[in-house]
Chain A
Amino acid sequence: MTEDVVPLDGNAAAGPLAALFAVEPTTIMITCEGCGREGALATLKLYGGAMGLILRCPECDTANLRFADAGTRVTVDLRGSTRLTLHGTEA
Chain B
Amino acid sequence: MLITRGFKGKERNRGAARDRVPPGQYVTPDFPVLSAGPTPRTSLEEWSFGLRQAGRMVAEWRWTDFEKLPQTEVTVDIHCVTKWSKLDTRWRGVTFDDLLGAAGLDAPPTSFVMAHCDGGYTTNAPVADLAQDRAMIATHYEDLPIPPSHGGPARLLVPHLYFWKSAKWVRWLDFIEQDQAGFWESLGYHNYGDPWREQRYEGDP
**Direct A–B contact present (CB less than 8 angstroms):** yes
Interface on A for B, CB 8 Å cutoff? 1-5, 7, 45, 47-52, 54, 56, 61, 63, 66-68, 70-71, 73-75, 77
Interface size in chain B (residues, C-beta < 8 A): 26
Check if B35 sits within 8 Å of A5, measured CB to CB. Answer: yes
Inter-subunit contact B82/A49 (CB<8 Å): yes
Give chain B nearest CB distance to A35 CB in angstroms.
15
Question: With A50-B82, A51-B164, A70-B201 known to touch, is A5 a contact of B188 (CB < 8 Å)?
Answer: no
Query: CB distance B34 to A61 under 8 Å?
Result: no
| A56, A67, A71: the one within 8 Å of B187 (CB) | A67
**Residue B186 contacts which of A45, A50, A61, A77 (CB distance < 8 angstroms)?**
A77
Out of B81, B149, B187, name the residue touching A3 (CB < 8 Å). B149
Q: List 17 A-B contacts (CB under 8 A).
A: A1-B31, A47-B36, A48-B34, A48-B36, A51-B36, A51-B184, A52-B36, A54-B36, A56-B37, A63-B36, A63-B37, A63-B120, A67-B187, A70-B188, A73-B188, A74-B188, A75-B188
Closest CB pairs A-B (n = 3): A75-B188, A70-B201, A50-B82
Assess whether B39 is interfacial by the CB under 8 Å rule: yes
B191 to chain A, nearest CB (A): 13
- Give the docked Cα–Cα distance between A54 and B147 (Å): 22
